[in-house]
Chain A
Amino acid sequence: MPATENLLEIKGLTKYFGGLKAVSDFELTLKPGELVGIIGPNGAGKTTVFNMISGLYAPTAGQILFENEDLIGLEPHEITQHGIGRTFQNIRVFPNLSVLDNVAIAYHPHAHYTVWDAIARTEQFDRKERDLIERAQDFLAVFGLQDRQNELAKNLPYGEQRRLEIARALATEPKLLLLDEPAAGMNPRETHRLMELIHFIRDRFKLTILLIEHQMRVVMGICEWITVMDFGQIIARGTPREIQNNERVIEAYLGTGVAARIHH
């Protein structure tokens, strides 16, 4: 069967750190436009999966096909340029740069002028730099950050830093967006806004989104499909409702008390 319909296809993905088996035989298939979540307790290997997809870690074994092209062996920046954007569990905005420059950096691969143009300030530089900055400003406006553009990223409140990080990842023009615990450290109000933001970007940018999340409320609220990991392995897969009722998940991850809370 031709796999053309799948945006991302992961098969037998395995990662050892020395003798530690961080991820073992991980499988995942994403179709364009899906919003899928990976959940699991701390140390289950979720972030390791993300780091392998985005090229930060080399897998010990397995295959990662993105639009039918094998990503393994590509440099992280090449993977980004292929159309996979990501955010990080602990926010990684460029702290001492302005909000505008944070987004402008994501446009760098599409700057269309050379180092020489920059140094000599050629006409090409004037035109393309202006384009680039205007695009970045328009992009910030979409995320309600236009009034913050000259502020240093580190001075933004936590929720806005997260929003900036997501905006910056989207500015790389991805087809697939990986969100690593976007709601980590957020209060309920911020979490609520984040969920709206995720819906908003998915509709507006026609994206496929894969997210790791700890907070059940977020995952159950927005994901269509959920994969549950524990000790580096997939223990369950299904819709939020199926996952909520899955005995193994309840036992291994949620615990009976939590499961009861979700049902009522």
Chain B
Amino acid sequence: MKRLKLPALSRTRDWLLVAVATYVIVQVLIYLEMIDAFWLPIVQLGAVMAIISLGLNLIYGFNGQFSLGQYGFYALGAYTAADITYRLNDANQLHHVLNLGPLSFDWGQTVSFVAALVVAVLFSALVAFLFGLPVLKLGSDYLGIATLGFTMVVYVLANNSDTILGFQEMKGARGMVGIPQLTTWFWTFLFLVVTMVLVRNLVYSSPGRAIVSVREDETAAKAMGIDISRYKLLAFVIGSALAGLAGGLYAHLYAFLHPSIFHFVKSFDPLIIVVFGGLGSMTGTVIAAFAWALLLQGLAVAVLPSNLLEWRYVLYAVSLIAVMLLRPQGLMGGRELGFLKNLRVVAQRKEPPVGAPAEPAPEVTHASN
């Protein structure tokens, strides 16, 4: 009796083709300079915001834990990755100065970049684990305050990175320069796809259902035998590690880091993106992240005269209020499109399962008097 049709390989391959096509089209547009030096970083910023917001959606949208810590982990990832490539870059230059022979420079940089991102992810995950262990026991509002505190602490540390922490190259409040500009459309797109696959595969699985059950009703989840502390921690660590990844990409996008980028007020950006896109909708998060980058950071800057530029934050706020009033469930309201759909549900709808007729349900056998 085969009632469940898991997605066939061709299906996965179809989506892989869609991904490759998207990548190639954008790459061609970049080559033709239709996406120019102004728009390219904005497109990449959209992907970076999509990654950090997908992480938050896992924590808040799927697991129901209100976290304002995303920007803290974003900063952590950014400074960690930047410091690694900065040092390796230095070593490369030293190598060059000492005239130790030719270096396959690009190859070395790519390896150091990927290594830096891996370390940024692992470090964010480790900090999230140690921080999450005590604070995830808190109720939702208190967790929000605690994670906001985390973001503020990271901000202060970034401001004093050269004094308190002793990382001279981070230059504290003056901002870190000299980071190699290694983030390309290829890398942002690749990591966005990896993130989407990761979050999707996690959510549509038994551990994913355990994560969602915590959001739905903690007490009932416990009564179902779900170790809720474990799944809160799992979602928090993965979500925060994704923020670290996004940070690493961001650091090498503008090749400049300043503590003000990670000010706690900015930590509301991913929250707004997630709520705007719809809590618990991956599709909505990705769309909202690109909309945020393209409209707010791109179009508004390109169109509005500079003396009116600050008005975009007013427009931003007004559009948020409008969405909350008109569509409180967000753009997608928990629905998914295409690849991000739960294919199991699709398969079932096509082929409704036949109930086991051997056992009559008590529903039908009820006697009437």
- The reply to whether B206 and A121 contact each other, CB–CB distance below 8 Å, is no
- Among B205, B219, B223, B349, max chain A CB count under 10 A is at B223
Contact B206 A132 (CB under 8 A): yes
Interchain residue pairs with CB less than 8 A apart (28): A54-B223, A75-B227, A77-B227, A86-B223, A92-B219, A92-B223, A93-B220, A94-B213, A94-B221, A95-B216, A104-B209, A105-B226, A107-B206, A108-B206, A115-B205, A119-B198, A129-B6, A133-B344, A134-B3, A137-B3, A137-B353, A143-B362, A147-B352, A149-B348, A149-B353, A150-B349, A172-B223, A193-B366
Contact B219–A108 (Cβ < 8 Å): no
Of A77, A120, A126, A163, the residue contacting B226 (CB under 8 A) is: A77
User: Residues of B contacting A118 with CB < 8 Å?
Assistant: 201-202, 205-208
Pick the 5 closest A-B CB pairs, nearest first.
Answer: A144-B361, A118-B205, A94-B216, A80-B225, A141-B355
Q: Are B222 and A56 in contact (CB under 8 A)?
A: yes
**Chain A interface secondary structure, helix, strand, loop or mixed?**
helix
Query: What residues of chain A lie closer than 8 Å to B354, measured between beta carbons?
Result: 146
Residues of the A chain whose Cβ atoms lie less than 8 Å from the Cβ of B221? 94, 105
A85 at the interface (CB under 8 A from B): yes
Chain B residues near A108: list those with CB within 8 A: 206-207, 209-210, 224-226
Which of the residues A81, A92, A125 comes within 8 Å of B205, measured between beta carbons? A125
Residues of B within 8 A of A193 (CB): 362-363, 366
Contact of B362 among A56, A107, A144, A150 (CB under 8 A): A144
Contact A88–B355 (Cβ < 8 Å) = no
Whether, in the assembled complex, A97 has its beta carbon less than 8 Å from a beta carbon of chain B, the answer is yes
- Cα of A107 to Cα of B280 in the assembled complex, Å: 22
Q: Measured between alpha carbons, how far is A142 from B352 in the docked complex, in Å?
A: 16
In the complex, what residue of chain B is closest to A165 when comparing beta carbons?
B220
B141 within 8 A of A: no
Q: Report the interface size for chain B: residues with CB under 8 A from the other chain.
A: 47
Smallest CB gap from B220: residue in A: A92
Tell me the bound Cα distance from A165 to B208 in angstroms: 20
Among A101, A105, A119, which residue has its beta carbon within 8 angstroms of that of B201? A119
Contacts of A70 in B (CB 8 A): none
A150 touches B348 (CB 8 A): yes
The reply to whether the CB of B314 lies closer than 8 angstroms to some CB of chain A is no
Q: Does A253 contact B (CB under 8 A)?
A: no
A:111-129 near B, CB below 8 Å? 111, 113-115, 118-121, 125-126, 129
- Residues of the B chain whose Cβ atoms lie less than 8 Å from the Cβ of A98: 345
* Chain B 169-208 interface mask (CB, 8 Å, partner A; 1/0): 0000000000000000000000000000010011001111
A29 to B113: give the CA distance in the assembly, Å: 65
Which chain A residues (134-155) contact chain B, with CB distance < 8 Å?
Answer: 134, 137-138, 140-147, 149-150
Type the 1/0 row for B333-369, where 1 means its CB is closer than 8 Å to any CB of A: 0100000000011001100111110010111111100
Is the beta-carbon distance between A77 and B222 smaller than 8 angstroms? yes
Q: Which residue of B lies closest to A86 (CB)?
A: B223
Residue B289 at the chain A interface, CB threshold 8 Å = no
B212 on the A face (CB < 8 A):
yes
Q: How far does the alpha carbon of A133 sit from the alpha carbon of B367 in the complex, in Å? A: 32
A-B pairs with beta carbons under 8 A, tally: 151
Contacts of A169 in B (CB 8 A): 223
Q: A94, B217: Cβ atoms under 8 Å?
A: yes
**Cβ–Cβ contact B219 & A88, under 8 A:** yes
B219 touches A81 (CB 8 A): no
How far is B221's CA from A120's CA once the two chains are assembled, in angstroms?
Answer: 25
Which B residues lie within 8 Å of A204 (CB)? 359
Shortest distance from the beta carbon of A126 to any chain B beta carbon, whole Å: 6
Who on chain B is nearest to A125 by CB?
Answer: B205
The interface size of chain A toward B, counting residues with CB under 8 Å, comes to 63
Which residues of chain B come closer than 8 Å to A96, judged between CB atoms?
Answer: 216, 280, 334
Using CB atoms, name the residue of chain A closest to B223: A86
Does A192 make an interface contact (CB < 8 A)? yes
Residue of A105, A120, A121 with most partner-chain B CB within 10 A: A105
Considering only residues 198-220 of chain A, those with a C-beta below 8 Å from chain B are 200, 204
| A103, closest chain B residue (CB) | B224
B window 50-71: CB within 8 A of A: none
Q: Which residues of A contact B352 (CB under 8 A)?
A: 147
Q: Which residues of A contact B367 (CB under 8 A)?
A: 192, 196
Please, which residues of chain B bring their CB within 8 A of the CB of A196? 362, 365-367
B304 within 8 A of A: no
Q: Is there contact, CB below 8 Å, between A85 and B223?
A: yes
CB neighbours (8 Å) of A138 from chain B are: 356
* Residue B234, interface by CB 8 Å: yes
Contact of A142 among B208, B220, B226, B356 (CB under 8 A): B356
> Quick one: which of A157-183 are within 8 Å of B by CB?
163, 168-169, 172
CB pair B3–A105 under 8 Å, yes or no, is no
Check B206–A106 contact: CB distance below 8 A.
no
Docked Cα-Cα span, A140 to B216, in Å, equals: 20
Residue of A nearest to B227 (CB): A77
Which residues of chain A come closer than 8 Å to B345, judged between CB atoms? 98, 150
Nearest Cβ on chain A to B245's Cβ, whole angstroms: 15
Q: Does A130 contact B (CB under 8 A)?
A: yes
Complex CA gap A193/B361 in Å reads 11
In whole angstroms, what is the CA distance A99 to B344 when docked?
14
Q: Bound complex: CA of A204 vs CA of B213, how far in Å?
A: 28
Contact of B228 with A by CB under 8 A: yes
